[in-house]
Amino acid sequence: MTRIKHDQYAKQFLAGLLEQIGQVVTNQEISGEPLHADLYFVPQHVTEAKIKTLGLLGQMANSGACLLEPFRSQPTNGEIRTCLQKLFALHNQLQRQQYKRAKQDDTQPKSIEEEELPHLWVLATSASDRLLNDFKAILKEPHWCKGIYFCGNGFKTAIISINRLPIIPETLFIRLLGKGKTQQQAIDEILAFPKDDIIRTEVTELLSIWRISIESKSGKTKEEEEILMNLSPIYQKWREENLEKAMQQGMQQGMQQGMQQGMQQGMQQGMQQGMQQGMQQGMQQGMQQGMQQGVQQGMQQGVQQGIQQGVQQGSLEMQRTFIENLISARFGKEEIRPQIVNSLLQLSPEESSRLLIQISREELLAKFGH
């Protein structure tokens, strides 16, 4: 059960990073076999800059299509063999599809080139020497850093022992999937980034959604409690920064609205007062005094009302952004529909986040999609 739960969180995190450079499919069904790969990635728009940004994860993605299988604990020999079974079944599926296309096009069928076949990356929080020796997995320095062990070329498989990766910027995103001190060290590195750094923003959001997913569950395991504790500092920073951002946006919108409302109210009140005073003291003097007093009063009232409305609107926009991100992480961006988001905004933040973690896509559409 622990493996399944960790898979869900790790897949959401990896998918959020990789979707910017290719197609990501979670729970990829492999036809002809009762198998589902955790994450299947096909590079599509990889650039040198994006590879550099993602570090080791970008280097893995740039090596070609691949399966990624994350483990919260050291996998057993049997679990690695199951991953290999998924990989070879996928190879067979792709070959059948190529033969089928050749038949439809009335061309000579050809086998897929070896370098075009997907790789398998087993992401393990740890891997013992015995496990690595059982699969004849070895380092490939200097092309790949320490902690990455490749099986024989024909297997197209590598085992990444996350706790053995060097503590360098290139391994940061993979180390975030580690355990204990390994994960905590990576989180501290992320928090040390400048507050306005786009990578820091994206990663803190992904990790915060991961934490919320765990926190909303009942009956947490010991490992989930550990993840919850490790992710607490970055989640707290994310909440504070989003609240600050929402307040700033709210203040700006409030000031703008307040100025507009103040001018309108000032003009109206000024005209009314000016007309009244003008009838008594003279139209010109009354209009001047009325306009001045009305604009001042209107500005004060408008700014106060605008600030209040801006803060409320900013808080609502923060909740809307969070709901949209959580829907995207669980079901894909295509399910971010106005009617669903607006319905969830009627609930408290706690109720909406708990519901989005537990509900299925079908239940979400049935309950809020109409």
Which string of DSSP letters, residue by residue, matches 117-182?
SPEEEEEES---HHHHHHTT-B--TTTS-TTEEE--GGG-EEEEEGGGS-SSGGGHHHHTTS-HHH
- Give the model's pLDDT for residue 4: 45
| E strand spans, the chain | 22-30, 35-43, 66-71, 119-124, 148-150, 157-161
> Which range, of 68-77, 275-284, 352-361, averages the lowest pLDDT?
275-284
> Which range, of 166-170, 197-201, 277-281, 312-316, averages the lowest pLDDT?
277-281
- Which amino acid belongs to residue 327? I
Give per-residue burial for 221-248: e unless 16+ CB within 10 Å, then b. Answer: eebbebbbebbeebbebbeeebeeebbe
Residue 24 has phi, psi (to 5 degrees) of -120, 130
Alpha carbon separation from 170 to 55, 183, 243, 257, 361 (Å, rounded): 4, 15, 31, 46, 35
**213 or 138: whose pLDDT is higher?**
138
- Mean of the pLDDT values across residues 142-158? 96
Q: How confident is the model at residue 317 (pLDDT cuts 50, 70, 90)?
A: confident
**What is d(CA 11, CA 30) in angstroms, rounded to the nearest whole number?**
17
Whether residue 7 contacts residue 73, with contact meaning beta carbons closer than 8 Å, is answered with no
Q: How confident is the model at residue 281 (pLDDT cuts 50, 70, 90)?
A: low
Q: How confident is the model at residue 297 (pLDDT cuts 50, 70, 90)?
A: low
- Mean of the pLDDT values across residues 346-365? 78
**What is d(CA 363, CA 192) in angstroms, rounded to the nearest whole number?**
40
